[in-house]
Amino acid sequence: MTVLSGIKIIEIEGIGPAPFCGMHLADLGADVIVIERPGAPAFGDSGNTTITKRGKRIIKLNLKDNDDKTRLLKLVEHADGLIEGMRPGVMERLGLGPDICCEINPKLAYGRVTGWGQDGPLAHAAGHDINYNALSGALWYSGKPGDPPFATPTIIGDIAGGALYLTIGMLGAILQAQRTGKGDIVDAAMIDGSAHMMNLILSLKATGAVSFERGKSVLDGPHWFDTYVCSCGGFISIGSLESKFYSLLLKHLDLSDDPDFRDQMNTGNWPVQKSRLTQIFKTKSRDEWSALMEGTDVCFAPVLHPGEAAEHPHIKHRQIYQTIEGNIEAAPAPRFKSQNPKTSRKNSVPTNVNQILKEWGHA
């Protein structure tokens, strides 16, 4: 048994956040059925080994065909949830919008993920992760003062602000249906989610610790919260925010008695302090700095690409990454004490509507 055993989810084929949400639900044990269109595969689709397809089953249906649409609606009648990532109005034009699906199945959790949301002046405009993050304010602090903010591909908007908020919304709507007998329509917009994730920073803004002027805040300006290049060309990260961690950083760098570094929170000193640390960290390799500070309360970590990360002792101990048919992928998260995190990966497999209805007890 898994935490979502018995939960039945229909996923309408798409790219980005909706498939990721479906993978997440499948990782937690839900029975996720992907409805794919016949013909060319979707962007990023490498067949049944596609990471976001793991643990799912596939049914090929042409949703513009009335017979196939009827088959899908039969599944909808008995599902707990449906997720889709189309532009607003597409599912309605197909005759598969929430008005129809939720009338057929009032307990249905109907999940929709888009960039701009289901309504608003930009709802029908094209966009990508970088655009939603830019407009929500989430991109503002990514970069140095005076430089353009840099993109963080897919992670903040598509995944964190989109897929994970859709996952949370689906679980909430399914719980509501179990409690009240009535599901809900989930509008998971990446611009909403990426803005919502700003609330911790906005809380710090209220205390004066964060400024809307880039480079002047405790998390985007100081020398003790940044990344640095090493003599080998690799990078390290330092996050010595609390005073006790900062003192330990200075101790490891033999700077405890250096007057330039005594006043941690004096923003006027940060440029000089950062310049000095930049030169200091260039004197050793990434591995040498790791040997000196990793595992201490300096709040230190080397900056690794995913292939390197997979070989790190901590990552290997927790079996966070695994290699499947030559490709690296991350294990399910979060973990549950009652479940084995070492469960082997399951590729997606083809099926059909009759088989699913039989398994769901509605043949």
**Domain coverage including residue 278:** 225-303
Residue 40, pLDDT above cutoff 80: no
Residues 57 and 168 in one domain: yes
Mean local confidence (pLDDT), 77-81? 98
Residues 295 and 177 in one domain: no
Predicted confidence at residue 107, as pLDDT, reads: 98
Count of structural domains, the chain: 2
Distance CA 213, CA 194 (A): 19
Distance CA 327, CA 321 (A): 10
Q: Tell me the whole-structure pTM to 2 decimals.
A: 0.94
Residues 248 and 134 in one domain: no
Among residues 89, 100, 25, 90, the alpha carbon closest in space to that of 57 is found at: 25
Residues 26 and 171 in one domain: yes
111 — pLDDT class (breaks 50, 70, 90): very high
DSSP SS3 for 221: coil
Predicted confidence at residue 86, as pLDDT, reads: 97
Residues 250 and 349 in one domain: no
Distance CA 294, CA 240 (A): 13
Is 206 inside any structural domain?
A: no
C-alpha to C-alpha distances, 238 to 153, 162, 226, 246, 274, nearest whole angstrom: 22, 29, 6, 10, 12
Q: Give me the phi and psi of 237, to 5 degrees please.
A: -120, 140
Residues 15 and 155 in one domain: yes
Is 341 inside any structural domain?
A: yes
pLDDT tens by residue, 177-187? 999 999 999 99
Is 202 inside any structural domain?
A: no
Among residues 205, 208, 209, the alpha carbon closest in space to that of 222 is found at: 209
231 — pLDDT class (breaks 50, 70, 90): very high
| H helix runs in the chain, sequence order | 17-27, 66-76, 90-93, 98-104, 129-136, 164-180, 190-196, 199-207, 243-252, 270-281, 286-293, 306-311, 313-318, 353-359
Residues 187 and 45 in one domain: yes
Average pLDDT of the chain to the nearest whole number? 94
- Tokens read off for 352: 């059909």
Q: DSSP secondary-structure letter at 232? A: T
Residues with catalytic roles: 128, 158
Residues 297 and 165 in one domain: no
Is 51 inside any structural domain?
A: yes
Predicted confidence at residue 344, as pLDDT, reads: 63
Is 167 inside any structural domain?
A: yes
Is 318 inside any structural domain?
A: no
Residues 150 and 298 in one domain: no
Residues 239 and 154 in one domain: no
CATH code for the domain of 266? 3.30.1540.10
DSSP SS3 for 202: helix
Is 308 inside any structural domain?
A: no
Is 212 inside any structural domain?
A: no
- Tokens read off for 242: 């609390």
Residues 46 and 83 in one domain: yes
Residues 287 and 171 in one domain: no
45 — pLDDT class (breaks 50, 70, 90): low
Residue 343, pLDDT above cutoff 70: no
CATH code for the domain of 20? 3.40.50.10540
Residue 44, pLDDT above cutoff 70: no
